Amino acid sequence: MKFALSNGNRQEAQPSLPGECPCCGRPMVVKCGEVRVRHWAHKGRRICDPWWENETEWHRGWKDKFPDDWQEVVHRAETGERHIADVKTGDGWVIEFQHSNIRPDERRSREDFYECLIWVVDGTRRERDAVQFSRAWANGKSLDPFSSKRKVSSPEGALLRDWAGSGAHVLFDFGDGQALWWLFPASDGQRAYVQRLSLAQFVRIHRATSAPGPCEFDSLVQNFSAFIAHYEPPPPTKQPRRPIEAAPCPHRRPYISRGFRF
Ligand SMILES: [Zn+2]
């Protein structure tokens, strides 16, 4: 982890600094290595959050695009279940950076736990993913030839297959530092809806202090929903899932009537 509590304050790992886990309160030690970025680790045991992924330079680079106090935010459900969100924005979106493979059941558990969830997925982990995704995008269709959004029928490639059933927003990062490829939650094994989004814009709209009313990302979601509505009759409305913490996700409500989960 990047942060631990040290003398009551959130601190980055520094040699010989004492620390405790902000999630479970147990002692932590500083790990410095040539391979891994400097981080905090639980003393003599595995991390308390089974969803936690070993942090790579890629994770750290992403987290550092956001303010320190948005990083590694402990979430508590009414049941007492606790997990550490990679980033929670000022508008209440949780952003999880996923490098390694994730089982569908764990993915669903995390999507249920963090209602307003955005996955940023490392698209460089498998060499073939970028090639297959690029082919799928090239085969995509749009009513407007200049649109950054496309419908991809029968999406090919392991990456799209792995993530097309997700109930959350998924953004693939192929490591060029320029573009993210946004897979909308209405996607499945038959069709995928994909939008090219600038990485800089994605970071900027989440960092922007939200004025009253929908945040900028919500506006993009609405815009994407309108694009999809050209292709799809609205599916039956889904029941809202159990609320996490005190209030349900404010980003979901405007879109439930459209039949999508966001
Ligand atoms: Zn812990």
Residue 255 has pLDDT above 60, yes or no: no
Alpha carbon separation from 154 to 45, 159, 164 (Å, rounded): 44, 13, 11
- In this structure, of 37-51, 107-121, 176-190, the range with the lowest mean pLDDT score is 37-51
Q: Residue 124 domain-assigned?
A: yes
Calculate how far, in angstroms, residue 27's C-alpha sits from the geometric centre of ligand 1: 8
Residue 240 has pLDDT above 50, yes or no: no
Looking at residue 232, its pLDDT comes to 75
Residue 242 has pLDDT above 50, yes or no: no
Looking at residue 259, its pLDDT comes to 40
Calculate how far, in angstroms, residue 242's C-alpha sits from the geometric centre of ligand 1: 25
Calculate how far, in angstroms, residue 40's C-alpha sits from the geometric centre of ligand 1: 10
Q: Residue 116 domain-assigned?
A: yes
Calculate how far, in angstroms, residue 222's C-alpha sits from the geometric centre of ligand 1: 37
**Domain range for 190:** 89-256
Residue 260 banded pLDDT, cuts 50, 70, 90:
very low
Average pLDDT, the chain: 86
Reduced to 3 states (helix: H, G, I; strand: E, B; else coil), residue 137 is: helix
Residue 127 banded pLDDT, cuts 50, 70, 90:
very high
Question: Is 76 in contact with 133 (CB distance < 8 Å)?
Answer: no
- For residue 257, with 0-12 CB atoms within 10 Å meaning exposed, 13-18 middle and 19 or more buried, which class applies? exposed
Question: Is 140 in contact with 181 (CB distance < 8 Å)?
Answer: no
- For residue 248, with 0-12 CB atoms within 10 Å meaning exposed, 13-18 middle and 19 or more buried, which class applies? middle
Average pLDDT over residues 154-163: 90
**Whole-number Å distance between alpha carbons of 111 and 116:** 8
State both tokens at 220: 């993009």
Q: Residue 36 domain-assigned?
A: no
Residue 243 has pLDDT above 60, yes or no: no
Calculate how far, in angstroms, residue 139's C-alpha sits from the geometric centre of ligand 1: 46
Out of 11-20, 40-49, 212-221, 235-244, the most confident range is 11-20
Calculate how far, in angstroms, residue 42's C-alpha sits from the geometric centre of ligand 1: 7
**Whole-number Å distance between alpha carbons of 87 and 117:** 10
Average pLDDT over residues 85-101: 95
Residue 158 has pLDDT above 60, yes or no: yes
Higher pLDDT, 209 or 227: 227
Calculate how far, in angstroms, residue 59's C-alpha sits from the geometric centre of ligand 1: 19
Looking at residue 253, its pLDDT comes to 40
pLDDT in tens, 169-204: 999 999 999 999 999 998 888 899 999 999 999 999
Q: Residue 39 domain-assigned?
A: no
Calculate how far, in angstroms, residue 44's C-alpha sits from the geometric centre of ligand 1: 12
Calculate how far, in angstroms, residue 129's C-alpha sits from the geometric centre of ligand 1: 34
Q: Residue 141 domain-assigned?
A: yes
State both tokens at 29: 């030690």
Q: Residue 142 domain-assigned?
A: yes
Higher pLDDT, 132 or 250: 132
Looking at residue 249, its pLDDT comes to 66
State how many domains the chain has: 1
Q: Residue 175 domain-assigned?
A: yes
Calculate how far, in angstroms, residue 48's C-alpha sits from the geometric centre of ligand 1: 4
**What percent of the chain stands above pLDDT 90?**
62
Calculate how far, in angstroms, residue 216's C-alpha sits from the geometric centre of ligand 1: 34
- Residue count of the chain, please give it: 262
Looking at residue 166, its pLDDT comes to 93
Calculate how far, in angstroms, residue 25's C-alpha sits from the geometric centre of ligand 1: 6
Q: Residue 30 domain-assigned?
A: no
Average pLDDT over residues 154-179: 94
